[in-house]
Amino acid sequence: MSDILHILQQYWGYNRFRPLQEDIIRSVLEKKDTLGLMPTGGGKSITFQVPAMAIEGTCIVITPLISLMKDQVDGLRRLRIKATCIYSGMSRREIMTALDNCLYGNYKFLYVSPERLGTELFRSKLSAMQISLLVVDEAHCISQWGYDFRPSYLQIAQIRELIPDTPILALTATATNDVIKDIQKQLHFKKENVFRKSFNRPNLTYIVKKGENKVEQLIRILNRIQGSAIVYVRSRKKTKEICDQLTQNGISAAFYHAGLSTEIKNECQNKWKNNEYRVIVATNAFGMGIDKPDVRIVVHIDLPNAPEEYYQEAGRAGRDEKKAYAVTLYAKTDKAKLRKRIIDSFPERDFIKRVYEALCNHLQVAEGYGSGSSYDFNIDIFCKHFKLPILPTYHAIKILEQSHYIEYIEDPNMASRIMMTVPREGLYQIQESDTQTELLLQALLRSYTGLFADYVFINEEVLMQRSGLSHDDVYARLIFLSKRGILHYIPRKRIPMIYYSQRRIDAAQIVIPKEVYEIRKARMEHRINSILNYADSENICRTQILLNYFGEKTEECGTCDICIEKAKRTTKDNTFNHIEKDIRNIIGQQAMTLDDIIDNLAYPAKDIIDVLRFLCDEGYISNLNEHYRLN
């Protein structure tokens, strides 16, 4: 225990673990297969990074999010911990470098996207590595019962066969009981072993506001509840529209979605984190891995497809354990919109086959070819060219992915990468070096570490500032040095890609399994009905609805809008009973005017009049000559 506390203090600067972290770490160090359920912001990364530092060998971390992978690798490198990553879109040369570093360079962490697990290159190198721990992040993705099933995750069980003595740690923020059991089954746990933190967030108040003008409601809410805020919407276009309306009403805001450039996304995110913007209006592309504990309110203008998604997004409020709000704006038309998502998400089978054929023709992949190849892909251009509706087409591509024909890598978020290909002393022997090249090399060496051992993510704008060169000059010098063999430069890339998991076949031979189509459709219907039940409820505590969905029983929270309304009604009923009793007492002694009754009772005049009117209507008292008497 003293060793892992020392590691925690040495690298992360904390003096103690958060609840559940220590239990999970102990289980991992005892080489037990472990499933950890920790709500958003619970500190999942510590549960594998700390024990991995205490064990000999390399920890493999499987995660589907390239941007999160890159952030964690950069964070570990800043702590002087050797870490690298492999994901879709990297060249064979980059992959070889990363794997060789893990084999010979004493690297502690290798982050891998699940799609890379099935490659022959990865598996051949894996068998030669000393693996300390296998970590599966976003573990719900392996379960067909989960809301975000990804077929590439099923390859993890095969990887386990190559390293049978290595313990596995699976982590997720949200999972129902069915998903919890399925994760352990799919990952071949030797014995069921689950650590979970309650899904209850006592500091978080859940509210549903009903009404048609959501922007007006949003502005009123933000004016009433101060502090940092996230507003979630379902479309990229809406992020800007609502951001503009907030700005016009004096509320500082930025917008964020996956289609923005990496520089703009980073700028918006950082300014919001530093409170230069109070509100960020975003699609669900925003929030994963964002560490901002003081978010006071999360507003959903559009409902997500599942309680799991809602819980994760709403849970980004109040990570500092102080009072925070999760507000849903709900209109009459939302129910129909949500149900239409089911139709869009599961287009007809013939349409899916048509999309596959059009896709192959668009990318010029001939029958019998394409396996293992990747292609840049712009879905907007594709849909315009073939006159296809964009939403059903998108979901047809996702179904083809679930059926193992292709992989659709939507947001590679690949910043530029560089690795030096000559030793450090070789830089001083470069002939014909000009002033611009020298300035650039100096900026590179000052700005980034590890350039001689591995590919390092770089930012050309940083190099511009530190070298005094223009963007064009930086790019030209990097290309020049790459051609000279001094370094290997891979420029940034943000274009989505299609990767062929197998060779192209005749569209008529496409088989869409029942579990990919009918079963997933039924589960989506169940989730949408569950989130609608949450929004529609008028008498069941919001916290209870959410926690019951995850198989957890709890008392009424007392803070959500339903509980507050119940408390008001109870208070009103009690007050009514007290007023009735006191009226009966005083007019039982003698008839009294309205003014006399109001003067003799310590209640608001309106409440007294309401009770008198009720008692008269029901015949308990009468009013003769403006005097009230008992009947």
Give tens-digit pLDDT for 350-397.
Answer: 999 999 999 999 999 999 999 888 898 999 999 999 999 999 999 999
Mean pLDDT of 173-180: 90
CB-CB neighbours of 261 under 10 Å: 11
| Least-confidence region, from 75-89, 273-287, 406-420, 465-479 | 406-420
Q: Point out the least confidently predicted range of 72-86, 449-463, 523-537.
A: 449-463
Closest CA relative to residue 588, chosen from 629, 542, 552, 541:
629
Is the Cβ–Cβ distance between 64 and 117 less than 8 Å? no
Phi and psi at residue 363, to the nearest 5°: -90, 0
d(CA 384, CA 386): 6
Q: Which of 132, 133, 151 is nearest to 141 (CA)?
A: 151
Phi–psi pair at 82, nearest 5 degrees: -75, 120
Q: Is the CB of residue 394 less than 8 Å from the CB of residue 514?
A: no
First and final C-alpha spacing in the chain: 78
d(CA 194, CA 205): 28
pLDDT for position 432 = 52
Average pLDDT over residues 235-262: 92
Q: What are phi and psi of 593, to 5 degrees?
A: -80, 170
Is the pLDDT assigned to residue 457 strictly greater than 70? Answer: yes
**DSSP code for 448:** -
Q: CA–CA separation, 601 vs 623, rounded Å?
A: 18
Residue spans in the chain of domains classed CATH 1.10.10.10: 572-630
With tokens 């891979």, the residue in question is 490
Average pLDDT value for residue range 426-444: 77
The runs of H, that is alpha helices, within 8-91 are 21-29, 44-54, 66-78
In this structure, which topology does domain 416-490 adopt according to CATH?
A: Arc Repressor Mutant, subunit A (1.10.10)
In this predicted structure, what is the pLDDT of residue 250?
Answer: 95
* Cβ atoms within 10 Å, residue 238: 18
Q: What is the DSSP letter of 319?
A: T
- Distance, CA of 544 to CA of 620 (rounded, Å): 41
Cβ proximity of 117 and 159 under 8 Å: yes
Identify the CA nearest to 133 among candidates 230, 51, 36: 51
Q: What is the pLDDT of residue 19?
A: 80
What pLDDT, on a 0 to 100 scale, did the predictor assign at position 483?
87
Structure-derived torsion over alpha carbons of residues 19, 22, 28, 32, reported in degrees to the nearest 10:
-70
The reported pTM is 0.76
Measure the CA–CA gap between 147 and 524, rounded to whole angstroms: 8
pLDDT at res. 330: 96
Q: How far is CA 240 from CA 120, 478, 588, 590, in A?
A: 44, 35, 67, 69
Q: Which of 197, 256, 251, 257 is nearest to 227 (CA)?
A: 251
The mean pLDDT value for 501-517 works out to 93
Is 90 exceeded by the pLDDT of residue 185? yes
What are the structure tokens assigned to 612, written together? 């008198």
Question: Does the pLDDT of residue 412 top 60, yes or no?
Answer: no
Categorize the per-residue pLDDT at 115 as very low, low, confident or very high, splitting at 50, 70 and 90. Answer: confident
Does the pLDDT at position 137 exceed 60?
A: yes
Q: Note whether 70 and 120 are within 8 A (CB).
A: no
Q: Are 490 and 90 in contact (CB under 8 A)?
A: no
Give every strand in the sheet of 406-409, ordered side by side. 374-376, 497-500, 406-409
Name the fold adopted by 2-196: Rossmann fold (3.40.50)
Quick one: tokens of 340?
Answer: 């239409």
pLDDT at 48 over 70: yes
Q: What pLDDT, on a 0 to 100 scale, did the predictor assign at position 394?
A: 94
pLDDT category of residue 283 using cuts at 50, 70 and 90: very high
pLDDT (0 to 100) of residue 349: 95
Distance between CA atoms of residues 195 and 199, nearest Å: 12
Average pLDDT, integer, range 549-558: 91
What does the pLDDT average to over 180-189?
95
The per-residue pLDDT for 407 is: 86
**pLDDT value for 575:** 84
Q: How confident is the model at residue 150 (pLDDT cuts 50, 70, 90)?
A: confident
Pull the structure tokens for residue 58. Answer: 């390399």
∠ at Cα 40 (37, 42), nearest 5°?
70
- Residue 329 pLDDT: 97
**Is the CATH code 1.10.1740.10 the one for domain 572-630?**
no
Here the tokens at position 536 are: 């529609």
Work out whether strand 416-420 and strand 406-409 pair parallel, antiparallel, or are unpaired. Answer: unpaired
Q: Are 245 and 228 contacting, i.e. CB atoms less than 8 angstroms apart?
A: no
Q: Token pair 């090249």 is at which residue?
A: 437
In three-state secondary structure terms, 629 is strand
Confidence of residue 604 (pLDDT cuts 50, 70, 90): confident
Start-end ranges of CATH 3.40.50.300 in the chain? 2-196, 204-337+525-548
In terms of DSSP H, where are the helices of 282-348? 307-314, 334-345
Quote the mean pLDDT of the chain.
Answer: 89
Is residue 485 predicted with pLDDT exceeding 90?
no
The CATH number corresponding to 347-412+495-516 among 1.20.120, 1.10.20, 1.10.3470, 1.10.10 equals 1.10.10
CATH number attached to the domain at 204-337+525-548: 3.40.50.300
What is the per-residue pLDDT across 386-400, written as a single tens digit (0 to 9) for each?
999 999 999 999 999
For residues 265 and 494, give the distance between their C-alpha atoms in angstroms, rounded to a whole number: 12
d(CA 93, CA 90): 8
Residue scoring higher pLDDT (597 or 430): 597
The Cα–Cα gap between 376 and 388 comes to 19
Looking up tokens 């099923």, which residue turns up? 154
Residue type, 207: I
Average pLDDT (490-501) is: 82
111-125, 179-193, 212-226: the lowest-pLDDT one: 111-125
To the nearest 10 degrees (0 to 180), the angle between helices 471-483 and 460-467 is: 100
What pLDDT band is residue 37 in, cutting at 50, 70 and 90?
very high
